[in-house]
Amino acid sequence: DEKEVKGSLKLSEKVEGDTAAVAAEFKLFGENRTVDWALAKQADGWKVVEISSKAGEWALSEIERQQAN
């Protein structure tokens, strides 16, 4: 639930030039979860280019690709 997520949320970030990665670690329904965000610096600021589960269960780009078919 929201309280569990808020109470356990930890963010870490790594910036290398024009790319960055953010990992959000949290508990949800008693299970540890990690969601990774990949960002790219563009002329108008940082843009999210991918969101995925650390466990490799899903990636937003793959979900979008499946829905397009």
pLDDT confidence of residue 54: 87
Distance of alpha carbon 43 from alpha carbon 37, whole angstroms: 19
Strands 19-28 and 45-53: unpaired
CB atoms within 10 A of CB 19: 13
Backbone angles phi, psi at 55, to 5 degrees: -75, -5
For residue range 3-28, what is the model confidence (pLDDT) as tens digits? 999 999 999 999 999 999 999 999 99
**25 close to 32: Cβ distance less than 8 angstroms:** yes
Residue pLDDT, tens place only, 19-68: 999 999 999 999 999 999 999 999 999 999 999 998 888 999 988 888 88
